[in-house]
């Protein structure tokens, strides 16, 4: 399983050329094996971007999210008590709470995180792909 960061979900759906070749390959392989996942906080982040008009998928937010999940057969991983506590630990120096939750999710599931975020890619506790 690999976990996709929020921007990776968006790029994959709307602008795949923005993904690195390595990221595209990892996503394609994981998709074939039905091993793609995201944190549920990513769905909220995307809904907020659409609501604030910072993202325009040309369809309503609910349909866009449903389509993204269905197209990639994404496993949406919930924020558990363990993830919530882990995200607040000193292991994660990232200031963005959503990014901390996404990184903690990847770490808890021992799954690589596909991200271009430089701060997340510097975390020693999480294997990243870009």
% of residues, the chain, pLDDT over 70: 98
Inter-residue contact 102 to 41 (CB < 8 Å): yes
Residue 2: half-sphere exposure toward Cβ, Cα within 13 Å: 26
Q: Is the pTM of this model over 0.85?
A: yes
What is residue 90's predicted lDDT score, i.e. its pLDDT?
Answer: 77
Cα–Cα distances (Å) from 83 to 7, 86, 98, in that order, read: 20, 5, 11
Q: Residue 84 above 90 pLDDT?
A: yes
Segments making up each domain of the chain, as ranges: 2-129
From 4, 93, 92, select the one nearest 40 (Cα to Cα): 4
What is the C-alpha separation between 2 and 25, in angstroms, rounded? Answer: 12
Domain 2-129 class?
A: alpha beta
What is residue 94's predicted lDDT score, i.e. its pLDDT?
Answer: 63
Q: Using pLDDT thresholds of 50, 70 and 90, give the confidence band for residue 91.
A: confident
What is residue 95's predicted lDDT score, i.e. its pLDDT?
Answer: 81
């Amino acid at each position: 399983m690999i976990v996709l960061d929020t921007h990776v979900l968006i790029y994959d759906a709307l602008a795949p050329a923005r993904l690195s070749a390595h990221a595209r390959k990892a996503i394609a392989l994981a998709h074939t094996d039905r091993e793609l996942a995201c944190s549920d906080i990513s769905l909220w982040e995307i809904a907020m971007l659409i609501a604030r008009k910072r993202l325009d998928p040309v369809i309503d937010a609910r349909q866009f999210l449903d389509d993204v999940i269905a197209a990639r057969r994404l496993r949406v991983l919930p924020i558990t008590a363990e993830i919530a506590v882990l995200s607040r630990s000193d292991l994660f120096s990232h200031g963005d709470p959503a990014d901390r939750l996404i990184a903690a999710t990847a770490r808890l599931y021992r799954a690589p995180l596909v991200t271009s975020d430089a701060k997340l890619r510097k975390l020693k506790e999480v294997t990243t792909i870009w």
